[in-house]
Structures are given as structure tokens and as C-alpha cells.
Amino acid sequence: MTGKDFLCLTPFLIIAMAPVVIMIVISILRNYKVVYGFSVLSLLAAFGSIFFVLPSVPHTIQPLFIIDVYSLFFLGIIIISALLVTFLSYDYIKQLEGVSEEYYIIIFTSTLGASLLAVANHFILFFLGIETLSISLYILIAFQRSKSNSIEAGIKYLILASVSSAFLLFGMALIYTAFGTMQFGAIVAALVTRDPLSPLVLSGFAMMMVGIGFKLALVPFHMWTPDVYQGAPAPVSAYIATVSKGAVMAILIRFFFILRGFNNHYLFVAISAIAILSMFVGNILAIRQKNIKRLLGYSSIANMGYLIIILLTGSNKGIQASIFYLISYFITTIGAFGVITLLSSCEYEAEKIEDFKGLFWKRPWIAIVFTLSLLSLAGIPVTAGFIAKFYVIMEGMKAGLTVLIISLIINSVIGLYYYLRIITMLFSTSSDTKLPELSFIGNITLGIIGLSILILGIYPGWLIDIIVRFVSL
Amino acid sequence: MILIYLIVILLAGAILSWFTGKHNPVWPRIISLIALSIDLIIISLYVIRSIPSYKDWLIDIKFDWIPAFGISMHLALDGLSLVMLILTFFLGIISVIISWNEINSKVGFFHFNLLLILAGITGVFLSLDLFLFYFFWELMLVPMYFLIGIWGHENRTAASNKFFLYTQASGLLIFISIIALYFVHGHSTGVYTFDYLQLLGTSMPSSTAFLIMLGFLAAFLVKLPVVPLHNWLPDAHTEAPTAGSLILAALLLKTGAYGLLRFIVPLFPSESVTFAPIGMLLGVAGILYGAKLAFAQTDLKRLVAYTSVSHMGFVILGVFSFNELAYQGVVIQMIAHGISTGALFVLVGQLYERIHTRDINKMGGLWEKAPVMGAIGLIFSMASLGLPGLGNFIAELLILIGAFKANVLMSCLASLGLIAATIYSLRIVQKVFLGKKDTDWKMNDLTLREKVVSAALVIAIVWLGLFPQPVLNTAKPALLKTLNKQKEITFQNSIPNSDNAENILCEPSCNPLCTFVVKANSFNHKGSQSKTQSNTKGKKLL
């Protein structure tokens, strides 16, 4: 490896070093604040190092890594999301005496797995990244060992994720059998010369699709989502919904675009069907939910359905739209889960819709952020979600994906119905539920999130400019 | 810049109201009054200064918003928007005053929402960028939802949800249409923009244009509302607090009518003609069905709500008549209905504050108790039935005459609506103020504050009935602009050789439409110029 290789891997090295350091620190002195401060600083350093790497990209480290602006952009999004989740976790995790420091170790390992997905150029790194991410997530989901539904969620995720990984691995193996290579570029080259519709290749792609579909919680691989979202601690749910899905999305977009999968009729139909199913199933199942974490789980299924429409546009503009959508979705989701986190404690999760009754009159500040998040998820103007949906609709219409766009529109209305139900609850006359005091860090973070939702909703031009100028595949 | 100030003042007022409301409930009221008064004064100064002479736009400002998509902050003011803005700020002030005693909880947040709705409405009346228009169109919704959902009556939650879902679903249809128009225009010219002035005269296949128009229509007709899509209106009106009903009826519905005039007719000139028979039919159905339902109600507020459906039927009828008389009627109707129905809602609110019921079977003989209130009620019931001398008469007469030229049958059927209006209006007076009293209500007559509000509304409706000319003059150039666009295209479609159009235009007698074109062109400062332009455009089209 050359010096330039190391330079380009700085963010990853920082993220990989941090958990080791934390482990050593814990063995010497168990101090929550020190570990917390160190984690935040490391994440900030990793984020800062992206700008340090930026001048020397694009750079390929054979055979595994490809570091370009696209991957750095995703890396940035992943790290910022991890940082926001860390901010929101402070009080919640602090109450878990004895194990609270280890939480941050696992946050780092999972973030490492996620960021590897952003730079993977090879099946090996793809699989390594996904496994690092998943194994860390098993632990995070079951982090509250004393709670039965947390353990249940962890085991459920463990079993299903293993099965899906097996599918993914088998799919990779089949493709390797067909082409004799696992590098994305080489596969594309091989596809030109071979028959792309041979049963071997098709079944390989289909199996990979199952694996990826599971990680993104697309219908019909979505069954785990509500249970895991409900059972996991609130900040971890936020983490799964954002970092984990965003990273898988990063590699899916790259793989799909390098492969020009949208030109393949079978893949096109399969993805359209999955997108439409995800939107409808996610939204319709969300309507009857009484538990907000489950509801957000279903809503995330629908949102991923909207997002994979972009795969079929087959243009760089589509990728840019998907990145804007992901950014807005991340901010919004972390905002919504952040509110739940701040109102929850280890003993009691504020997850029933009734828990939020009259929140606006008692805690106007976080109720506003929650309202903004929900309106943004519903895609109402003045919020980031509106511009994001608009962007996706624009690119979808441009590519002539009329049926998909119409389903998106119909689903927006269905979605609105259940988001409205929560908002109504927030503003109804208050009951006497007791609310915990809010932490300073949590308040500030929610403030930033609320403000970002508004800024991206009212003045998104600058971010779109940045994305359009720099990000392409 | 002054147009942006109008909106910014309202937004600033909204935020200030919210923050000061925590300390003292009087502050938000005063702040809202000040913000709305400033806006009213600014806009009135414009009327006085520059009314008689304007060509296209009184003010026109434009700067980039999201340049990547060709979205700009394009606001412009012409006679039509000017008239609508005056109505908006005037009724905005009224709605703050009438809420003075009615709203006692969460006063700051109430006024925040109120001013936000008014800011959204102001934006809708000013936007000349379709994306910006949609932005404001949706901006009105969320605060209105809160207004109904938090301060409304018993079934407020269901009503507010219904309102939101209806308008949002139709809003998404217009959104799709806007984007489709954007792409159609972009493909044919290479310029991707949401700018209204550039999108005017986009050449596209008629079937495409018709589909796109249906999306626009969906949003406007739901908002207006037209009969099969009116279901949200009675619930929303009935459950909303008085100020909410006032703004809903007097302003929010008008955004639908404004949309028809500003967007449907100029953007889709020949397609809207194709749609006209259905449009007029929907209008007549609205007039008669709304009136019938109004007559059947026992809840006074619901009754007034259904009269809105009936009155708005006239607006649709007028819009799809495509002539100047009808359009003038439409403008007057928008204002007259805003004032008269608004006033009736205020009256219902005042009654409810005193006797805590809206059931007209429990009322009766209230004139003795409250003669001033009775007199006000009588005046506005008369306005509602179209008594000469009050604004609604002028409006409905102009619309009926205009519609008669376009479609005799529809016009005759619509005129039956006047009889129906007489029946339900007189029923209000009879059941509430006259008749025998079943219950001996203890109630006071109007207080000074309420008298001032009522007097302002009475003056407005009488003034509109006696001197409608200033309003007509103000709106006229804008309406002619709309109609000219319309005529150019339809003439080219009906007459293969555009040179012949000139000849026909010279003989006003041969076609009633022609007289209007001739008249229109004499009003238009660059009439001949635009005609030659239109002819060349016609050749291109052919």
C-alpha cells in the first residue's frame, strides 16, 4: 500500500482506532463522560478527515476499495448520522450502569461496517461491511439485556439477518461461478461478453436482491422491521433506520448503476414491483399501529419504497435526487426517534401514541420538532421531506416512470393519514402523563434537527447545488 | 420588494404573536392587528396611487430560489390580486377582532396560525411561479388544520382530518400537473422553468393539455368546492372556530376561484373551452344542490356553510362562460360572498357565544332580545338572497347575463338558484329572529366591538352593491388579459385562416363573442399589437 492509499483511508482508520482506544480506556478507568467525549471527538475527527481526503480522490485501491466523491459524500452522511444518534443517546444510555460505555464501542464498529459499504468495489468488502454492520447491530438491538422484547428483537434480527446474509453470499458465489470475478468493474466487463440472462447469473442476482432487500426492509423481506424497531432502544432504532439503511443504499446504488441494471427488463420489473409493494404495504400497515416505533418502522418501509424508484431512472440526476432524499430522510427520522429517545428512559419507553398526548402544551419545543419531522415524512411544504419528494418525483417523471410516481402520490395521501393522527394527538388537550426532564445536549440536537428540516425545506438550493456539482458515478 | 414585505410582515407578526402570547394574551391580538393593518395600508396606498394605468402588472419582482430546477421567487400584483388582497387583509382584521373574546386558550398559537394562513393566502394571490404557488397553496393547509383541530367545536378532529386529506390529495394532483407542465414545456422549448409567464402558451397535444388541466382543476374545484367534491366543507366550516369559518369561507374558497381565473383559463385556453359545458353543469348543480341542502339544515352554521356551496356554483358558472360580463360578476361575487357569508358566520359565532347552541329549532324570537343583531342578520340574509343594492345582486346578475350569452339553458337553471336562495335566507330570518320563542334565552345585544365589526361589514356590502365600479375598473385589465388569451386561441382553432379572423372581428354583430373581443382590444393598450402577435402565433400553431 502506498502513502496515498493510507491518506485516502484516514476516516476509516480513525473509526477503526476509536473502539480500540475506548476498550483500553474502559479497562483502566470506567468513566462515561470521558468515553462519550472521546467518541464525539473521534466522529468529528473522522468527519473532518473527509475534507482532508477530498483533494486526492478519485482513488482506487486494488482490488477492494474505490474512494470517490460519491463514497465520501455517503461517508459524510453516515458519520453525521452516527454523530446525531450519539448526541441523542447521552442520557438514555447513561442510565444503563455498567455497560453504558460499551455502547459507543459498538456504535463505532457498526459505523465502520457501514462506511466500508460506501467504498466497496468488490464482493468481499461488500460482504465484510454488511457483516460487520449486522453483527454490531445484533448487540445494539439487544443492548437492554433485562428487557424481554429487546432480547426477542435481537434474536429475531440475528436469525433473519443470518439467513439473508446466506442468500447474499450464495448469490455472490453464483455470480462468481459465472464470471470468475468478484470485482464490480470486472463483472460489468464480463456481462458484456456473456449472456446476461443465463439462469446462473439471474438466480445469482435474485439471491443478492433478497439479501439487500432484507437489509433495506423492502416488501416482501420486511417482516422483521416493526418488531426490531419496537424492541430496540429508541436511539438504536434511529441508527438502524438511518445509518444501516443508508449504507446498504449506497452500495446498492453503486452496484446497480455500474451494472446498468435498469437496462435489464427482469430487474426493472422486479424492482418496480418491490417498490410499489413496499409503498403500499408499508403505508397500509402503518395506519393501524398504536405504537409509534412500529409505525415509524412501517413508514420506513414505505420510504425505502419511494427511494428505490430512483434506481430505475438510470441517470446521475437520479443518484443526486436519492442523495438529497436520503439526507432529508435521515434528518427527519433521527428527529422523530430523537423525540422518542428524549421522552423515554430505560425503564419506560414512550412509544404508545397516548404517551404523546398534549405534548405540545407541556413541551412545546420538542413537540414542534416532532411535528416538523412528521410533516417532513409526510412531504408537506416548508419541510425538507417535501423538497426531497419533489426531487424524486421530478426525476421519476423525467425518466417516464409514471406508474411508480402515481403510486408514490397515492401513498403520500395514505401516509398523511397516520402522520396526522400523531400530530392530532400532540396538539390535543393534555393528560397528566409525567414527562422526564430533558437533557441539554438532546435539546440542542433536536433544535439543530428542526432547524435543518426547515432550512432544507425553504432554501434547499445550496445543498442541491453541492450535490449536483460534485456527486456522480 | 413591497410584495415580499407583505408576506414577511405577516410571518414576523405570526412568530411575535406566538412568543408574546405566553406572557399576556392581549399582545398577540394587538400584534396581529398591527401587522394586518400595515399590510392593508400598504396595499391601499397602491390602489390610490396607481390604479388607472397599468399594462400587465402593477409590480413584478423575480429572483432565483432553486435555480437547479428553474424555480424562482416570482411575485406580481395586478388588479385581480390587488382586489383579493384588500379582501384578505380586511377580513383578516375582522377575524382578529371577532376572536377577541372567543379564543381564550393558547392565544399566542392561535394568532400564529391565523397569520400564517393569511400569509399563505397572500402568497397564493401573488405567486407567478407555479412551484411557489404550490408552496403557498400548501402553506395555508397546516395552520388551518390546527385552527380547526385545536379551537374547533365537538367533532373538530374528524373535521380537520377530513379537510386536510381532501385538500392535500387534490393538492398532490395539481402538483403532478405542475411538474408535467414543466416537462412538457422543457421538452418543447429546452427551457425548464416553473415561471407562469413562460409556461403560458406552451404548445402541447390537446389530450396532454387536457390531462394536465384536470390536475389543476381537481385542486381548484375541491377548494371551491364543486358539488361531488364538497364533502369536507360543511364539516370543516361547522367545527371551526368563528375566525376559522370566516377565513375558510371568505378567503380559502376564493383561492380556488382565483386559481381558475389565473391558471386554468390562460394556461389551457382551448381545453378549458372543451371542459366548459361540464364546468357550467357542475356550477349549476352546485347552485341548486347547495341551496337544497342549505334549506334542509337545522344547524345554523352548517346551513351557512351550504349556502357557500351554492354561491360558489355561480363562480364556476361564470368562469366557464368566458366573457367579460361574467368575469366581472365572478370578481364581485368573490368579494360579496366573502363579506356576506363571512358576516353570517360572525353572526352565528355571536349567537353561539350567547346561547351556546347552533340549532335553529331552539332559537326564535330573538329580535326582541337583540334588535341590532337581528337587523344585521336581516341585512346579510338579504345579501345572500341577492337583494338589489347589496353586492351579491350585482355579482349574480352579471354572472347570469354573462352565462346567458354562453349557454341559455344553464343560465336559466342557475337563475332558479336565486329563488332557492330566497327560501333559505328567509328561513334564517324567520326561524332565528322572528317566529315564536320556545326558550326564553337570556342574551345581550351586540357589544360595541361587535357593532364596529358588523358596521364595517355592512358598509362594505352596501358600498359594493351601490358602487361596484371601482372594483370592476381595478380588476378589468387583469380579466381582459385572461380573456384575450382565451379568445386568441379559440379563434385560431375555429377559423382555419387567421386572416379571416380579422374580418369577422370587424363585424361585431355576427357573433356575440366578437363584440367582446373588439371591446377588449379597445381596452387593451397594445390591442392591435397583441392581435398581430396572436395571428403569427396562430400560424405557428396551424
pLDDT tens-digit map of B310-333: 999 999 999 999 988 999 999 999
Q: Which residues of B touch A468 (CB under 8 A)?
A: 68
Determine contact: B15 vs chain A, CB below 8 A: no
Q: Residue A260: which region, alpha, beta or left (left: phi > 0; alpha: psi -120 to 50)?
A: left
Angle between helices A364-378 and A316-343 (to 10 degrees): 150
| SS3 state of residue A436 | coil
Strands B59-66 and A59-61: unpaired
Determine contact: B274 vs chain A, CB below 8 A: no
Taking CB atoms and an 8 Å limit, are A420 and B164 in contact across chains? yes
pLDDT at A311: 87
Distance from CA of A411 to the nearest CA of B (A): 10
DSSP 8-state class, residue A180: S
pLDDT at B54: 65
pLDDT tens-digit map of B80-102: 898 899 999 999 999 999 988 88
Angle between helices B300-319 and B408-428 (to 10 degrees): 160
Taking CB atoms and an 8 Å limit, are A393 and B164 in contact across chains? no
What number is the average pLDDT over the span B27-38? 93
Determine contact: B183 vs chain A, CB below 8 A: yes
pLDDT tens-digit map of A330-346: 999 999 999 999 888 77
pLDDT band at B345 (very low <50, low <70, confident <90, very high): very high
- When CB atoms are compared, the residue of B66, B138, B176 closest to A380 is B138
Least confident piece of the model among A95-104, A130-139, A246-255, B117-126: A95-104
Collect contacts of B185-191 with beta carbons under 8 A, ≥24 apart.
B191/B70
Handedness of CA B222, B226, B231, B237 (dihedral sign): positive
Residue B509 has pLDDT above 70, yes or no: no
Q: Which residues of A touch B64 (CB under 8 A)?
A: 461
User: What distances in angstroms separate CA B341 from CA B24, B243, B372, one per listed residue?
Assistant: 32, 12, 18
Taking CB atoms and an 8 Å limit, are A361 and B66 in contact across chains? no
| H-state helical runs in A217-291 | 224-231, 234-239, 245-259, 265-287
Least confident piece of the model among A8-22, A431-445, B128-142: A431-445
- Residue B534's H or E segment, with its range, is helix B527-541
Taking CB atoms and an 8 Å limit, are B179 and A412 in contact across chains? no
Taking CB atoms and an 8 Å limit, are B165 and A468 in contact across chains? no
- What percentage of chain B exceeds 90 in pLDDT? 49
Instruction: Provide the β-strand partners of residue B59.
Output: B77
Strands B71-77 and B59-66: antiparallel
Q: Where are the beta strands (DSSP E) in B314-386?
A: none
| SS3 state of residue A358 | coil
What ipTM was predicted for this assembly?
A: 0.86
Distance from CA of A473 to the nearest CA of B (A): 19
Q: Residue B507: which region, alpha, beta or left (left: phi > 0; alpha: psi -120 to 50)?
A: beta
Q: Which residues of B touch A382 (CB under 8 A)?
A: 135, 138-139, 142
> CA nearest B149 in A: which residue?
A424
Angle at the Cα of B465 from the Cα atoms of B462 and B466, rounded to 5 degrees: 90
- When CB atoms are compared, the residue of B64, B106, B139 closest to A381 is B139
Q: Which residues of A touch B173 (CB under 8 A)?
A: 409
Determine contact: B130 vs chain A, CB below 8 A: no
pLDDT at A408: 92
pLDDT band at B512 (very low <50, low <70, confident <90, very high): very low
| SS3 state of residue B137 | helix
pLDDT tens-digit map of B401-448: 999 998 899 999 999 999 999 999 998 888 888 887 767 777 788 888
- When CB atoms are compared, the residue of A382, A421, A428 closest to B139 is A382
Q: Which residues of A touch B138 (CB under 8 A)?
A: 380-382, 386
> CA nearest A426 in B: which residue?
B150
Taking CB atoms and an 8 Å limit, are A460 and B66 in contact across chains? yes
Residue B50 has pLDDT above 80, yes or no: no
- Cβ contacts of B542 within 8 Å, gap of 6 or more: B492, B496, B498
Determine contact: B69 vs chain A, CB below 8 A: yes
What number is the average pLDDT over the span A233-245? 93
**CB-CB contact of A125 with A65 (8 Å):** yes
Average pLDDT score over chain B: 85
Q: DSSP labels for B366-431?
A: HHHH-HHHHHHHHHHHHHHHT-TTSHHHHHHHHHHHHHHHH-HHHHHHHHHHHHHHHHHHHHHIII
**CB-CB contact of B414 with B283 (8 Å):** yes
Separation between Cα atoms, residue B261 and residue B255, nearest integer Å: 10
Cis peptide leading into residue B52 (ω within 30°)? no
Q: Which residues of B touch A464 (CB under 8 A)?
A: 66, 68-69
b/e per residue, B337-357, with b = 16+ CB within 10 A?
bbbbbbbbbbbbbbbbebbee
Residue B56 has pLDDT above 80, yes or no: no
Q: Residue A198: which region, alpha, beta or left (left: phi > 0; alpha: psi -120 to 50)?
A: beta
Q: Which residues of A touch B69 (CB under 8 A)?
A: 394, 464
pLDDT band at B530 (very low <50, low <70, confident <90, very high): very low
- Cβ contacts of B157 within 8 Å, gap of 6 or more: A424, A428, B149
Residue with cell 477503526: A16
Separation between Cα atoms, residue B291 and residue A140, nearest integer Å: 63
Taking CB atoms and an 8 Å limit, are B65 and A461 in contact across chains? yes
What number is the average pLDDT over the span A373-391? 92
Distance from CA of B141 to the nearest CA of A (A): 9
Q: DSSP labels for B428-452?
A: HIIIIISS--SS--------HHHHH
Distance from CA of A29 to the nearest CA of B (A): 46
- Cβ contacts of B133 within 8 Å, gap of 6 or more: B123, B124, B127, B178, B196, B263
Distance from CA of A371 to the nearest CA of B (A): 11
Q: Which residues of A touch B (CB under 8 A)?
A: 361, 375, 380-382, 386-387, 390, 393-394, 397-398, 405-406, 409, 412-413, 416-417, 420-421, 424, 427-428, 459-461, 464-465, 468
pLDDT at A74: 93
Q: Which residues of A touch B70 (CB under 8 A)?
A: none
Distance from CA of B258 to the nearest CA of A (A): 21
Instruction: Provide the β-strand partners of residue B195.
Output: B129
> CA nearest B168 in A: which residue?
A413
Separation between Cα atoms, residue A21 and residue B159, nearest integer Å: 58
pLDDT at A473: 74
pLDDT tens-digit map of B371-408: 899 999 999 999 998 888 898 999 999 999 999 998 89
Q: Which of B71, B133, B134, B142 should one mutate to test binding to chain A, selecting the residue with the greatest count of A CBs within 10 A?
A: B142
- Residue A150's H or E segment, with its range, is helix A148-179
Q: Which residues of B touch A462 (CB under 8 A)?
A: none
Q: Which of A357, A370, A398 should one mutate to test binding to chain B, selecting the residue with the greatest count of B CBs within 10 A?
A: A398
Q: Which residues of A touch B161 (CB under 8 A)?
A: 417, 420-421, 424
Determine contact: B48 vs chain A, CB below 8 A: no
Rounded-to-5 percentages of helix, strand, coil across chain B: 80, 5, 15
Angle between helices A69-94 and A440-458 (to 10 degrees): 150
Strands A59-61 and A65-67: antiparallel
Q: Which of B161, B173, B181 should one mutate to test binding to chain A, selecting the residue with the greatest count of A CBs within 10 A?
A: B161
Taking CB atoms and an 8 Å limit, are A409 and B173 in contact across chains? yes
* Residue (of B212, B235, B91) closest to B166 by Cα position: B235
Taking CB atoms and an 8 Å limit, are B164 and A382 in contact across chains? no
Taking CB atoms and an 8 Å limit, are A465 and B68 in contact across chains? yes
Taking CB atoms and an 8 Å limit, are B67 and A468 in contact across chains? no
Q: Which residues of B touch A421 (CB under 8 A)?
A: 161
pLDDT at A178: 87
Taking CB atoms and an 8 Å limit, are A361 and B106 in contact across chains? yes
> CA nearest B71 in A: which residue?
A461
Taking CB atoms and an 8 Å limit, are B69 and A405 in contact across chains? no
Of residues A159 and B57, more confidence is placed in A159
pLDDT at B513: 40
Distance from CA of A459 to the nearest CA of B (A): 7
**CB-CB contact of A147 with A177 (8 Å):** no
Q: Which of B7, B179, B181, B208 should one mutate to test binding to chain A, selecting the residue with the greatest count of A CBs within 10 A?
A: B179
- Cβ contacts of A79 within 8 Å, gap of 6 or more: A11, A15, A43, A46, A47, A50, A111, A115
Taking CB atoms and an 8 Å limit, are B180 and A397 in contact across chains? yes
Determine contact: B192 vs chain A, CB below 8 A: no
